[in-house]
Amino acid sequence: MIAIGGAIGSGLFLGAGGRLNSAGPALMLVYAVAGVFAFLVVRAMGEMVMHRPTSGSFVSYSREFIGEKAAFFAGWMYFLNWACSGMADVTAAAVYVKFFYPNIAQWIPALIALAVVLAVNLVSVKIFGELEFWFAAIKVVTLVAFMVIAIVVLIRRTQVAPGFATGPQLIFEHGGFFPAGLFAVLMILQGVVFAYAGVEMVGVAAGETDNPRKVIPKAVNSVGWRIAIFYVGSVLLLVMLLPTSMYSSAGSPFVTVLSKLGIPAVAGIMNIVLITAALSSVNSGLYATGRVLRSLAFNGSAPRVLGKMSRHGVPYAGVLLTGFIYLIGVFLNLKLPHDAFEITIEFSAVGIIGMWCMIMIAHLAFYRATQAGLLPRPEFRMPWAPYSNYVTVAFLIFVLAMTWFNGKTGRFIIYSLPVIVLLLVAGWFACRKGVERIRQEGGAHHHSHSPLE
């Protein structure tokens, strides 16, 4: 549930509207292609978890199979991803609340949302898991309900908008499958990758599962078919109900359809779901970064204080640091209400791309070690390795390169890449000695078998 909750978020509920408008029905093709790569990332992750479950997740796998520098890079890229997407989601939650209280200042609900989620994360892992389960359940139930309504509408051939008959012909009637051409389709890749971010959560959560070797294969494979049903399926239904030009980035495409059908109170209900979707994302982000920062601190790649644990097994220092960064997001809402969301999402995508590449490269190193007979290869394997590793990394780099064409925010992102690299290099030099010392003391992860490593 945590992985699927991570994968179904504002990216689908809110982001799909603008993408349908700009790329047309071809959006489902993009979701399908990106979905295949997201699935491969999760499978690579799953295979390494089967080899050795840990809540340090891909950071400790990068360390084990490549080395300290790789672990440093993977951990901080992950932090960049969640720090930025958390800011975006705190913003999103505030925007949705304004639907009910239009006159409230945007930073107030953002602050309240952050306070609630932070409190939950600091109390215990059990409450986090419980809350996340219900958040995810609300999202899944909503999507299923929407799909059932959509299928009934299609079977009964009910018109959603006057003058447009519903059905498969809509996909091809208004400008065809690629109404804005192929380039428009390539342009939305980054946003779609952002929509899938969070699927790797299954690997982070695995370290705290009772019986990971039994649970993980099931969890990982289910992520695959759920992506297909929820993402590709819901977009397929959306394009058979209305011409894609009738969707827009201003609102959720689901709300667009349901309100046109005249279902009462739909906008209010959908908004509550959108708020839980955003909160669930902030919740997952705090959970994941807390664990990853602890893993980094444990090995000297982050200040030692971030390794502190509470009695209830919560890495509270790391959680608090992330919470503090989300607070910056609240202030961005004050200063740049519109740009804040776009910029944080694009930066978040840079973090995701860096981290997914690291997962693939770590898996490649792991695969080579198994081929050399140094490690046994688990039964649960990533398909078509090592070729799938190369293709996935190439795809991700291509997605990053496409950012350049994305107006001024896109260029801003590309120009800031050297800055990110410089910060990472400077950070590495700052903590290199500490890392070396801890390694010589034998404090490296793969020697310790503490349950909370």
Confidence tier at 342 by pLDDT (50, 70, 90): confident
Q: Is the pLDDT reported for residue 44 higher than 90?
A: yes
Helices 107-123 and 266-298 pack at an angle, to 10 degrees, of 50
Give the integer Cα–Cα distance in Å for 289 and 315: 9
Give the integer Cα–Cα distance in Å for 235 and 254: 10
Mean pLDDT of the chain: 87
Q: Count other Cβ atoms within 10 Å, centred on residue 437.
A: 11
The least confident of 207-216, 240-249, 355-364 is 207-216
Confidence tier at 452 by pLDDT (50, 70, 90): very low
What was the pLDDT predicted at 136? 87
Q: Could you report the per-residue pLDDT of 252-280, keeping only the tens digit for each?
A: 899 899 989 988 788 788 889 889 888 88
Confidence tier at 367 by pLDDT (50, 70, 90): very high
What was the pLDDT predicted at 210? 82
- The identity of residue 287, as a single letter, is Y
What was the pLDDT predicted at 450? 34
Burial of residue 16, with CB atoms counted within 10 A of its CB: 0-12 exposed, 13-18 middle, 19 or more buried: buried
What was the pLDDT predicted at 146? 92
Two tokens at 299? Answer: 């090995």
Q: Distance of CA 378 to CAs 46, 234, 375, Å? A: 10, 35, 9
Give the integer Cα–Cα distance in Å for 296 and 353: 19
Give the integer Cα–Cα distance in Å for 205 and 404: 34
What was the pLDDT predicted at 3? 67
Give the integer Cα–Cα distance in Å for 226 and 230: 6
Collect all residues with Cβ–Cβ distance below 8 Å to 75 and sequence separation of at least 6.
59, 62, 292, 293, 295, 296, 301, 302
Q: Is the pLDDT reported for residue 334 higher than 50?
A: yes
**Stronger pLDDT, 390 or 164, i.e. the higher one:** 390
The percent of residues above 90 in pLDDT, for the chain, comes to 44
Helices 387-402 and 337-371 pack at an angle, to 10 degrees, of 160
Helix (H, G, I), strand (E, B) or coil at 165: coil
| Contact in structure between 1 and 137 (CB atoms under 8 Å) | yes
Confidence tier at 354 by pLDDT (50, 70, 90): very high
Mean pLDDT of 56-75: 90
What was the pLDDT predicted at 390? 98
Give the integer Cα–Cα distance in Å for 268 and 266: 5
Max mean pLDDT range (94-98, 293-297, 376-380, 388-392):
388-392
* Domains of the chain from N-terminus onward: 2-439 (1.20.1740.10)
Give the integer Cα–Cα distance in Å for 235 and 146: 11
What was the pLDDT predicted at 443? 52
Q: Could you report the per-residue pLDDT of 99-125, keeping only the tens digit for each?
A: 899 898 888 888 999 999 999 889 888
Confidence tier at 35 by pLDDT (50, 70, 90): very high
| Per-residue b or e along 119-134, where b marks 16 or more CB atoms closer than 10 Å to that residue's CB | ebbbeebeebeebbee
Mean pLDDT of 343-360: 90
Mean pLDDT of 416-424: 95
Q: Is the pLDDT reported for residue 448 higher than 60?
A: no
- Any idea of the CA torsion for 323, 328, 330, 333, to the nearest 10 degrees? -150
What was the pLDDT predicted at 449? 36
Please state whether the peptide bond connecting residue 386 to the residue before it is cis, i.e. omega within 30 degrees of 0.
yes
Q: Could you report the per-residue pLDDT of 173-229, keeping only the tens digit for each?
A: 888 899 999 999 999 898 888 888 888 877 777 767 788 888 889 888 888 888 888
What was the pLDDT predicted at 369? 96
- pTM to 2 decimals? 0.87
Give the integer Cα–Cα distance in Å for 357 and 313: 30
Confidence tier at 93 by pLDDT (50, 70, 90): confident
Q: Is the pLDDT reported for residue 235 higher than 70?
A: yes
Q: Is the pLDDT reported for residue 22 higher than 80?
A: yes
What was the pLDDT predicted at 446? 47
Q: Is the pLDDT reported for residue 451 higher than 70?
A: no
**Stronger pLDDT, 313 or 444, i.e. the higher one:** 313
Confidence tier at 337 by pLDDT (50, 70, 90): low
Mean pLDDT of 33-40: 94
DSSP state of 13: H
Q: Is the pLDDT reported for residue 433 higher than 60?
A: yes
Q: Is the pLDDT reported for residue 453 higher than 60?
A: no
